[in-house]
Amino acid sequence: MLLDRDTAHAFMPYPAVPVPHAPSGPLSGLTFAAKDLFDVAGYPTSAGSPHMLATSGIKTRTAPTVQRLLDAGARLIGKTITDELAFSMSGKNAHFGTPVNGGAPDRIPGGSSSGSAAAVSNGLCDFALGTDTGGSVRAPANHCGLFGIRPTHGRISLELCHDLAPSLDTCGYFTRDDATFVRVGEVLLGKDHQPLPSSPRVLLARDAFALLHKDVREALAPALLRAEAALGEPEEVDVAVEGFTALYWAMRYIQSREAWIVDGPMIERYSPPLGPGVADRFEFSKAVTDAQVAEAKVIRAAFRERFGALLGNDAVLILPTMPDIAPLLSESDEALNDYRNNALNLLCLSVLSGLPQVSIPLASRAGAPLGLSLMGPAGSDMSLVTLASRIAASAST
């Protein structure tokens, strides 16, 4: 990536290194970027942290998921900025800056895959890799007006990618259009072992929509009608019978404990300067107790079993991606943290269940993008991508 062309401040300022790719293949002619958690031979990996960058060294191996894209003919143009240690959802990195939201430049891009979403939404590449632990693909997709997927946990390899919370981490990607969304999915996801039927049962997460402000529900109403026209009339269901608060805390405790296991030893040994919010989250992580984690895992197991049974192997669930459009860049750190916590009530469903979720850029409010999501059974990822394309195509006709 030529830095003087990075008008979106999406890329890490690394010297350009040629990365070989196949001369032909299913992704030939497409360019992509990789979040700077993935190792790429010839580049360092910062994980959004100056300390990690200083100790990284130049990598000699490329993450298998990146290599799969290269082998399919796609051309890598650079590595994108991530929120620090991937432990944020705002897209603001205190050390490397804030990438520009191509869908609403006065608003945050969303993190932690902020640079990848900025690169795609500003037209700097055709698609980009991100990771989603607590919402780090779905939130930027919503905010920047992109297609995005959090796949079934374990569906796409995260080998040679810096962890945040391994039992929750997933690899996803962004595109601007539905055709590319399908094309990349065919390479990264492959065929579903458990595809959805051609006419799946359609469910609507009544209690998830009830969390939204009236203005947001009204903004999503036309998108819902388009989804229903493409999929059929949904049955309304409550998805969080345990209560969103219980699920929120279960996710936070598990994520925090695992994040401390991954990065805590480095933080305690070197005391690197951590940006606002990130420092607070690691302090919280350090204090999480064994009892809190044990209870959280019980809640996760029960929810996973019940939610999996609700979807069975033939249902698709419609739900809002985020509680609203992206907050303004001028919002305080406190306001951004409040928004993040509200968002986790919605985002935790896919995280705790391990089930796939796609966000589709179907709506807008106050001139900013707003996404609608589909979830499906474990292993139905490519079916969801195809359904997202069907809905998007029907919306544009």
Closest by CA to 78, choosing from 144, 131, 129, is: 129
- Hey, which residues does 172 pair with through a beta bridge? 130
**What ranges make up the beta strands (E) of the chain?**
31-35, 75-80, 127-132, 147-150, 170-175, 201-205, 235-237, 315-320, 357-365, 368-375
Concatenate the DSSP letters of all residues of 195-241 into one string: PPPSS-EEEEEHHHHHTS-HHHHHHHHHHHHHHHHHH-PPEEE-S-T
Using CA atoms, how far residue 68 sits from 20, 64, 107, in Å, is 12, 6, 33
* Sheet order of strands, 31-35 included: 75-80, 31-35, 127-132, 170-175, 147-150, 357-365, 368-375, 315-320, 201-205, 235-237
Which candidate in 88, 113, 121, 136 is catalytic? 136
Is 297 a residue of the active site? no
Which candidate in 90, 112, 285, 389 is catalytic? 112
Residue 127 contacts by C-beta under 8 Å, 6 or more apart in sequence?
30, 32, 74, 120, 173, 174, 175, 180, 184
Is 35 a residue of the active site? yes
Residues with active-site annotation: 35, 112, 136
